[in-house]
Amino acid sequence: MKKVILNLLLISFLANGFSQEVDLFKADSAKTNEPPTPVIATFKSTRIVHGHSIEMQAPGVLDFRVHHRFGELSQGLYDFFGLDNASTLIAFDYGLAKNLNIGVSRSTFLKQMEAFAKWRILQQNTSNSTPITATILAGVTNRTLDLFAANGAKLTSSDKTQYYTQLMLAKKFNDNFSLQISPTVVHYNLVKNTTDANTLFSIGFGARHKLSKRVSLNAEYYLQTNTLSSPTPNQPYINSLAIGVDIETGGHVFQLHLTNARGMTAPTYIHENNFAWDKGQIHFGFNISRVFVVKKPKEFR
């Protein structure tokens, strides 16, 4: 009798082990962890206001940009609050690879040409194993405007060239709020005064807060740690502060802003701004971005 009971126990045990019914649904509900995915849309655009954000164009996407900065609001009605004086930058950015963008631009202010490369080193992910996004921007600007030294000698192209490098560190804290800190180095091949440093340092601060799915509020501030001497001594170069709104429609992003700085390249908006908010030297400006798919993703080729 004992043996029979033992056998029965054994059978029921083994049978249970072998004949375990497959239940896909049960197995699935037991699995809860989501794989980490890269965080997207930290900012709406590749620019916060003047400066770059960590956002990049996807591979094969061409971004055509037009930036405008008008004159000072304090110019009054005669100059239609600055709207009579506009400077323009036209830029083309292109996504070469997932983590690499290149771009060129032309600005009417000082007839500047610019070229840059932007490389993403880290991308924040949802599991926070990578808590921030880090991107490096390196660029060169050249003033093609004829410029002359104090003794009347014409400056060479090399004299009118500047280089800049920026490390951008950004974090999207939640769906609505993102912050970026951007330590920046700008190098001038030639500066006006012998007492001026050729290499200048600054830290950029950028933030955006989404007001709705398609509208966000942006702010950008560049803190200079050393400055150039201003050509007009009563108007020293000061830090730039900009506040703006990003509005996104189907294929466009419109960025409207108020800023004291009028330059649109890193050297000019960071280190060559002598307009002050408290003197009413505020400029209205906008950036328009329109993207074109030049090369479709491999899934659609």
Partner 1 sequence: MKRIWLALIAVVLTSASFAQTKVYQTKTGKVKFYSSTKAEDIEAVNNQTDVKFATNGQLLFNLLVRGFVFPNALMQEHFNENYMESTKFPKAKFMGTIDNLALINFSKNGKYAVTTSGTLEIHGVKQDVKAIAGVVEVVDGKLKLSSKFKIKIKDYGIKGNYIGEKIANEIELTIDCILN
Q: For residue 129, what are its two tokens?
A: 């194993």
- Cα(27)–Cα(219) distance, rounded to whole angstroms? 48
Q: How far is the CB of 46 from partner 1 (least distance, A)?
A: 11
136-169 residues labelled b (16+ CB within 10 A) or e (exposed): ebebebbbeeeeeeeeeeeeeeeebbbbbebebe
Helix ranges restricted to H, 118-268: 266
Of residues 23 and 146, the one with the C-beta less far from partner 1? 23
Q: How far is the CB of 248 from partner 1 (least distance, A)?
A: 8
Q: How far is the CB of 44 from partner 1 (least distance, A)?
A: 9
Q: For residue 190, what are its two tokens?
A: 């030639």
- Cα(190)–Cα(160) distance, rounded to whole angstroms? 7
Of residues 154 and 301, the one with the C-beta less far from partner 1? 301
Of residues 126 and 157, the one with the C-beta less far from partner 1? 126
Of residues 278 and 299, the one with the C-beta less far from partner 1? 299
Question: Contact 58/294 with Cβ under 8 angstroms?
Answer: no
Q: How far is the CB of 164 from partner 1 (least distance, A)?
A: 27
The position carrying tokens 């940009």 is 65
Of residues 171 and 187, the one with the C-beta less far from partner 1? 171
List interacting residues with partner 1 (CB under 8 A): 3-4, 6-7, 10-11, 14-15, 18-25, 28, 34-35, 37, 40-41, 57-58, 61, 95, 126, 175, 213-214, 248, 250-251, 291, 293, 296-297, 299-300
Q: How far is the CB of 177 from partner 1 (least distance, A)?
A: 13
